[in-house]
């Protein structure tokens, strides 16, 4: 079982809709959870991080964490064509000296 | 300018050749990482380093060698390149005290092995 699994996509939503991206992880000792966005041909950039159970909102983005279910999600409200990218879920385990485990990514397309 | 830079950005080589990808960061971050990114596999960790002279294997270390004699540099060497090492390579860094645990990525090095 891979450390971090993401819904494989691709995901396509119309402009203005809510895009929902999901991620599960295998290690119950995982402490920190991250969402990176990667535009085609570019390097990943951090858009959200979450440590505690519940929701964390930042503008149009909401990260949700459920440690009991080992589940992390990212909601993008009012999706824009500029949100079209690959979204990478990453997890930091407690004892791994700062290394992150990445999922394979979900490609999102927002069409006008 | 401060940041993390990789070189070369693009490299074509032949099977069996030695290739070194360079990574330099100006933040004095303690941690540095090398990832490769391939379609269908996402980002996979090759090697990482917690400080100068401290390195450790990641998920896919075979065929690669790293060193870290100075905090700011973390070169990745393919001792005898193979076609399966054709990939995009990302170097990343983060600080020891980084509150978010955010990784800062270089722009990537696209390597083609013929």
Q: Do A32 and B101 touch (CB under 8 A)?
A: yes
| Residue B77 to residues A7, B46, B81, Cα–Cα distance (Å) | 34, 11, 9
- Which of B43, B98, B106 faces A88 most closely, judged by CB atoms? B43
The answer to whether the CB of B112 falls within 8 A of the CB of B86 is: yes
Is the predicted pLDDT of residue B108 greater than 60, yes or no?
Answer: yes
pLDDT by position in tens, chain A (length 112): 678 999 877 999 999 999 999 999 998 888 889 999 999 999 999 999 998 999 999 999 999 999 999 999 999 999 999 999 999 999 987 655 667 889 999 999 999 9
- Tokens representing A2 are 């891979």
- B42–chain A Cβ distance below 8 A for any pair: yes
Nearest to A106 by CA among A35, A22, A8, A5: A8
Could you tell me which residues come within 8 angstroms of residue A57 by beta carbon, excluding any fewer than 6 positions away? Answer: none
The answer to whether the CB of B21 falls within 8 A of the CB of B76 is: yes
Q: What is the pLDDT of residue A8?
A: 73
């Amino acid at each position: 079982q891979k450390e971090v699994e993401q819904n494989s996509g691709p995901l396509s939503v119309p402009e203005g809709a809510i895009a929902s991206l999901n991620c599960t992880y295998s290690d119950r000792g995982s402490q920190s959870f991250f969402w990176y966005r990667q535009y085609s041909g570019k390097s990943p950039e951090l858009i959200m991080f979450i440590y505690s159970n519940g929701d964390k909102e930042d503008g149009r983005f909401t990260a949700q964490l459920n440690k009991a279910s080992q589940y992390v999600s990212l909601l993008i409200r009012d999706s824009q064509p500029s949100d079209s990218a690959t979204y990478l879920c990453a997890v930091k385990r407690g004892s791994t000296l700062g290394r992150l485990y990445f999922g394979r990514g979900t490609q999102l397309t927002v069409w006008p | 300018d401060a940041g993390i830079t990789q070189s070369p950005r693009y490299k074509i080589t032949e099977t069996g050749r030695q290739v070194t990808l360079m990574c330099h960061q100006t933040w004095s971050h303690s941690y540095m990482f090398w990832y490769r990114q391939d379609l269908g596999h996402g980002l996979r960790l090759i090697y990482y380093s917690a400080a100068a002279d401290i390195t450790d294997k990641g998920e896919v270390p075979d065929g690669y060698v790293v060193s870290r004699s100075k905090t700011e540099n973390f070169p990745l060497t393919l001792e005898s390149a193979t076609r399966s090492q054709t990939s995009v390579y990302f170097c990343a860094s983060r600080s020891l005290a980084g509150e978010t645990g955010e990784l800062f990525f270089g722009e990537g090095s696209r390597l083609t092995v013929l």
